[in-house]
Amino acid sequence: MNSIAIILALIIGVLSKGKISNLCNIQLKKIHLIFIAISLEIVIKILLRNEIIYINNFTFAIDIIMYFIIFLFIFINRENKFILLMGLGFLLNAIVIFSNGGVMPVSKVAMESLGANYDVTKTGLYVIASRTTKFYYLSDIIPGGVMIMSIGDIISALAMMGFIIKTMKNESLIGIPL
């Protein structure tokens, strides 16, 4: 979903007379923390897909570390309203993930509506939602073309788009009211 949000933001930014070159001027502190968190997630997904590891206490611990790193980055950059809004989206996802044993529940109905019929546990830190799913409405239940999204995903993606568009238009990002 993030790659689609980035592409849309770039298109909107250009159409609104923004410059892609302005993205070189992004003023975020400790941005390497995001790359560390993304790298951890990629490694876990690769290991799960290749059945080298399975969803268990180890993956739960890695999830905790990933979210700690993400929230540390958000705290460090808290003066940026778009980063705070992304943090809200991540927080909503964290609530459902950690309430359900470190995995994101995915709606089987949403999967079927997209024609998806595979084992989600082998694609990442996911599980099929059930009657025992906690915070079901924060789960991945929204079918969106080629993916299934959560409310947190949508909030984070919109905030990321806003951040990119504002940066492309070279507008100040600090103190922007939500």
Distance CA 31, CA 138 (A): 27
Contact by Cβ (8 Å): 81, 88:
no
Q: Can you tell me the distance from the alpha carbon of 162 to that of 80, in angstroms, rounded to the nearest whole number?
A: 11
Which CA distances in Å does 130 have to 104, 109, 141, 157? Answer: 12, 11, 12, 26
How far is it, in rounded angstroms, from Cα 77 to Cα 154?
20
pTM: 0.85
The domain segmentation of the chain, as residue ranges, is 2-168
pLDDT in tens, the chain (178 residues): 678 888 999 999 999 999 999 998 888 999 999 999 999 999 998 998 888 888 888 889 999 999 999 999 999 999 999 999 999 999 999 999 999 998 999 988 888 887 776 667 666 788 889 999 999 999 999 988 778 899 999 999 999 999 999 999 986 554 444 4
